[in-house]
A and B are shown apart, each in its own frame.
Chain A
């Protein structure tokens, strides 16, 4: 197979973050029914993991206020994971009560970002999450860890790879089964991605790594390609490229799942995802949000009237 010959992974797991990371960064509040329909459509695309909501206080993130109804209302397809974000122990307990079978926590590679975002230091945030991870471990609930600002910070600017490695190692050591390295403001390039991954790969096994690239500077696919060339086999993306960048108004955020799948298909890498049904799900949510897709593949495909 082409992918084997080139040293690329045979299979890449795509973690769909549209319903959570995507919608969280969209201005329009989406009705619960629409969210549920959206997620149900995504469940039929072959995506192996769909991050469905966040058990955060509705005071902070109104878009996620209906987390209970969403988690309880969606269809759960066999073989598909439905992780939810749990910012603290209280959120974790609510998530479990609502039927969550996997949760995510997050740290940052930047002290300033941590302070501005959740008003505490990196160390303090990790200590808070230790409670969540401990409870999760007791209940056999897998925990995914996110590291924000892995390639740059809106406040600190440059972030050193060693810091990313250090925070990742802490989260992994605590018991997170997977660490998703996030280029939160999309400033990374193949150059900085390579340097960061080299540092992190010294501390964490490759199979436990994922990349979460933002396309704010158009670099996402090139960065993802770099990561895959280095053996990373888990990629986060958001259907239609849902979710803008809160740090650069009007700029794009998440990379579009359609564009990622198109690239991986072209590389002969298996994802299990049906590009056409993903585009249909994207079309559904964009219609509901009354906005244009951020996916170039979708733009090209729907305009020619044919799917390439």
Chain B
């Protein structure tokens, strides 16, 4: 969701640098129509241009069957699909109901199964919706369960507008964990209200061990102009290491990668660890 279109070589360098940090999963691109998301128009070149390190996964977003086929043709070995816990959000975002969106994804699931390609499922708006406001934990559990039964190996629960707090995170996870094994769960927290690390901490305390983050906290919030979006990977790794939790990630290399992409985008980092460290 950056404003400037990033040149393909820069994207490839970014992903290659991330591959060297010890991260085990890097979501590389989205096989969506460039009409909708111009930033991702070079999905094929990116996919074909990056170095694939052994032991690292490079999932790509595939909004539909056509995107899935293009992704596999370009060498993708893992894909992601997405649902939402809010009807209004689904309507505004992709112009159909939650049920209809899941039916569309059934096609992708079928093709993925046939091709032996693992599929990750995202659920948006798990702690609140920009249109509906409060979202019931039961609804999140219902959508997550559908995606999981369809064959997604992992469900990433996204606090899309970052309104969640440790209170609502606990309530939501309690409901979801009644339907899904905790080993299949991930959290994708946005830091729009500064709550991301506290929310992630609660998720970890409840047994979740997969966390999504974005180097330098790239990606603002499309629903609150100028506000923060993704949580910064550097800040997350700093916390996890402080907790004695193993991540395999080299924080210095990660910070260097953040510096690289911020220079390329001519912008400041959103990572506090990065801001603090480079001045000491």
Residues in A lying within 8 Å of B, measured CB to CB: 2, 6, 186, 188-192, 215-219, 221-222, 224-226, 245, 247-252, 256, 259, 262-263, 265-268, 295-297, 299-300, 303-304, 308
Contact = CB atoms under 8 A, between A and B. Distances in A.
B52 interface: no
Contacts of B26: none
B192 A296 contact: yes
Interface residues of B, number: 42
A225 B238 contact: no
B194 interface: yes
A67 to B, nearest CB: 30
Interface string B221-232: 101111110001
Nearest to B223: A304
A85 to B, nearest CB: 25
A296 B167 contact: no
Contact of B275 (A6, A224, A225, A250): A250
A217 B240 CA distance: 13
Contacts of A189: 238-239, 241-243
B212 interface: no
A69 to B, nearest CB: 34
A218 B226 contact: no
A219 B242 contact: yes
Interface string B150-165: 0000000000001111
A245 B224 contact: no
Contact of B167 (A186, A247, A266, A297): A266
B242 A216 contact: no
B193 A303 contact: no
A302 to B, nearest CB: 9
Contacts of A191: 242-244
Nearest to B244: A191
Given A219-B238, A251-B272, A308-B128, 10 more contacts: A6-B170, A189-B242, A189-B243, A190-B201, A221-B197, A249-B279, A250-B275, A252-B275, A259-B195, A303-B227
Nearest to A249: B279
A154 to B, nearest CB: 8
Contacts of B276: 186, 216-217, 245, 248, 251-252
A250 B243 CA distance: 26
B280 interface: yes
Interface in B253-280: 271-273, 275-277, 279-280
